[in-house]
Amino acid sequence: MEIIIISIAAFVTAILTFFSGFGLGTILTPVFIIFFPVDLAIALTGIVHFFNNIFKLFLVGKKADKKVLISFGLPAVIAAILGSWLLLQISDLEPIFTYVVLGSTFDVSPVKLIISILLIGFALIDLIPYFSNVQFDKNKLPFGGFLSGFFGGLSGNQGAFRSAFLIKAGLSKESFIATAVVVSTFVDFTRLSVYATRFTKVGIQENILLIVIATTAAILGAFIGNKLLKKITLKFIQILVAYMLILLSIALGAGLI
């Protein structure tokens, strides 16, 4: 059942996120968390996200801005190492507390609580009008790259910071999209390299079939998105997803999932 649900989510999300302001990882991560432990969910999402980005590179990658890739992308890669390392460290920590409701015991672990808070924060960025208008000067690109890469490594969510900083880089629409894809691919590769030190432990090998099917669904969705949704803004869906993300994050933080 999880293969069907996750693959459908990957397909639909890849269509919606090709040109929208929110990312594949933002939506897929909580879907994976429903079925898997947090660290495994983030790793699995990262693999699907990475191969989907590889496909996007062939579609739009050649239009990426090389100067922005250096000033924004290099700090992002370095920070992704730190964020990924931190995720692996907090995944081993014991639960902060345990409680019982109606005879069922729930554990609240540090990794669940931290990821829950981060997901709520990224969801609020999509909901609060102030954040949609926040932009940063071009000279802040290295700082933006660091933030984007760090949170990409820690939680899989890098798109919010990436968009906020790159939007002021003076790029065309095509170059903006291409640059974002290239940076995201670099960050994915970096964090997956760090996660790989724990892939045997967290259970990647046992879920190869899921990865292949979900990745194929995401690539197909990206292909359709590239063909059909170049001029569509999906603000309503973005807001709907943000509310759903908050509810799911609360459940995660409370130890319910």
Torsion angle, CA of 135/140/141/144, rounded to 10 degrees? -70
Residue ranges per structural domain of the chain = 2-253
Quote the tokens at residue 57.
Answer: 């590179």
Question: What is the C-alpha separation between 25 and 185, in angstroms, rounded?
Answer: 12
Packing angle between helix 38-60 and helix 173-195, nearest 10 degrees? 140
| φ, ψ (nearest 5 deg) of residue 134 | -75, 125
Residue 21: the pLDDT is: 46
What pLDDT is recorded for position 74? Answer: 93
Question: What pLDDT is recorded for position 79?
Answer: 93
Computed over every residue of the chain, the mean pLDDT equals 76
The pLDDT assigned to 124 comes to 75
102: DSSP letter: T
Report yes or no: 237 and 13 within 8 Å, Cβ to Cβ: no
Q: Which residues of the chain have pLDDT under 50?
A: 21
In this prediction, residue 18 carries a pLDDT of 61
In angstroms, rounded to a whole number, what is the distance separating the alpha carbons of residues 101 and 255? 11
- Helix, coil or strand: residue 69: helix
